[in-house]
Amino acid sequence: MKQPLNIGNIYSKKSLGQNFIIDENFLKKLDKVIKTNSGTIIVEIGPGKGALTKYLSKKKLKQLYLIEKDTKLAESLKQSYKNNSKVKVFNEDALRFDYSYLNGEVIIVGNLPFNVSSQLLMKWLKSKNWPSFYKKMILMFQFELGKRIISDSNLKSYGKLSVATQVRCKVKKILFASSNIFHPKPKVDGVVLEFDPIEKYKNIDYLKLLDLLNKAFLHRRKKIKTTLKNYLHILQELDIDSDLRAENLSVQDYVKITKLS
Ligand code: SAM
């Protein structure tokens, strides 16, 4: 379904999660927390109409890559930045984009399309080599999803995404984004999180960890003696009580189980 916008003559596509930031104060705050130097490469995901891009392009940096799936918006960005040799626009799907040739001081930034935001995050966390190609990520999510990503154990919000993220990155909430700052206005608020990759668990078999998390959290109300019945000997060896539920195990517990399995 298309909804007319009051900015320019472009429509907002729900299917592409298009909620554009229209609050300059918020943009200024977001711009301030993105620290760069002359070697920084910023990869902006879903720049849309370029609300944040306008600030990013004025920062000290080496390159600014814009990855936008919507052809009309990508064309318009190409026009706007045709005289800025640091800016490169890719009319591509960020889920399929080949990030492998990027390295250096890369920061991934974006007000992510909500319908693919967790898929995008998992793609960047799953990276075969760790540490990955980026030094930092500053990303906007729907508030509830953000809460799940940063959640501690023993909470309802703690799940696969919390562990999968926290094994790879130190993550913190940096800005709250009221739904009023977007157009069209979404049903829910947003939150901006900052991800700093960590190397503490860099040798872990990440896919094995994800497999374990899938099993543990598939039926989160069940005890792990049922959901992780194939791991009982490991739980015993690690002295983890099998009467616990998936949400009671720490990130460290999941790392230890993965290492022994
Ligand atoms: N950054 C802009 C802003 O804050 O105003 C727009 C953010 S809007 C929430 C998400 C943007 O991502 C839209 O411009 C949409 O077209 C784009 N998008 C959606 N799916 C995408 C994908 N798979 N790859 C790249 N861009 C995508």
Residue pLDDT tens, the chain, 261 long: 344 444 454 568 888 989 999 999 999 999 999 999 999 999 999 999 999 999 999 999 999 999 999 999 999 999 999 999 999 999 999 999 999 889 899 999 999 999 999 999 999 999 988 999 999 999 999 999 999 999 999 999 999 999 999 999 999 999 999 999 999 999 999 999 999 999 999 999 999 999 999 999 999 999 999 999 999 999 999 999 999 999 999 999 999 999 999
Q: Does residue 78 sit within a domain?
A: yes
pLDDT of amino acid 10:
53
112 and 52 inside one domain: yes
Give the 3-state secondary structure of residue 157: coil
Domain of 131 in residue numbering reads as: 14-197
> Do 142 and 236 share a structural domain?
no
**Is residue 28 domain-shared with residue 151, that is, in the same domain?**
yes
Q: Could you give the number of structural domains in the chain?
A: 2
Final residue of a structural domain among 146, 175, 197: 197
Check whether residue 174 and residue 58 sit in a common domain: yes
- Three-state secondary-structure class, residue 25: helix
Q: Domain of 42: which CATH number?
A: 3.40.50.150
Is there an atom of ligand 1 within 6 Å of 21 CB?
yes
CB neighbours of residue 159 within 10 Å: 18
- Do both 211 and 154 map to the same domain? no
Do 179 and 60 belong to one domain? yes
Asked if residue 9 is part of any domain, the answer here is: no
114 in any annotated domain = yes
* Residues 6+ positions from 85 with CB-CB distance below 8 Å: none
Same domain, 167 and 236: no
Same domain flag for 145 and 250: no
Confidence at residue 58, expressed as pLDDT on a 0 to 100 scale: 97
Question: pLDDT tens for residues 89-107?
Answer: 999 999 999 998 898 999 9
**What's the angle, vertex CA 193, arms to CA 190 and CA 199, rounded to 5?**
155
**Residues in contact with 199: Cβ distance below 8 Å, sequence separation at least 6, in sequence order:** 130, 131
Q: Which pLDDT score is estimated for 63?
A: 98
222 and 134 together in one domain: no
Q: Which atom of ligand 1 is nearest to the CA of 48?
A: 14
Cα 164 to middle of ligand 1, angstroms:
24
Name the residue among 189, 108, 207 with its Cα closest to residue 145.
189
Q: Do 56 and 107 belong to one domain?
A: yes
d(CA 250, CA 239): 13
Place of tokens 């030094």: 135
Give the predicted TM-score (pTM) of the model.
0.94
What's 234's domain CATH number? 1.10.8.100
> Is 5 within the bounds of a domain?
no
Please name the residue whose Cα sits nearest to atom 3 of ligand 1. Answer: 20
Within this chain, do residues 69 and 154 fall inside the same structural domain, yes or no? yes
pLDDT score of 7? 44
Distance from residue 53's CA to the centre of ligand 1 (Å) = 12
- Per 3-state DSSP, the chain is made up of helix, strand and coil in percentages (nearest 5) of 35, 20, 40
The tens digit of pLDDT for each residue in 173-213 reads 999 999 999 999 999 999 999 999 999 999 999 999 999 99
251 in the same domain as 137? no
Q: Which of 3, 16, 89 to mutate to test the pocket of ligand 1 (most atoms within 8 A of CB)?
A: 16
First to last CA, the chain: 47
Backbone angles phi, psi at 177, to 5 degrees: -125, 105
| Structural domain includes residue 6 | no
| Entry field: residues in the chain | 261
Q: Is 190 in the pocket of ligand 1 (CB under 6 A)?
A: no
* Structure token pair of residue 192: 């901006």
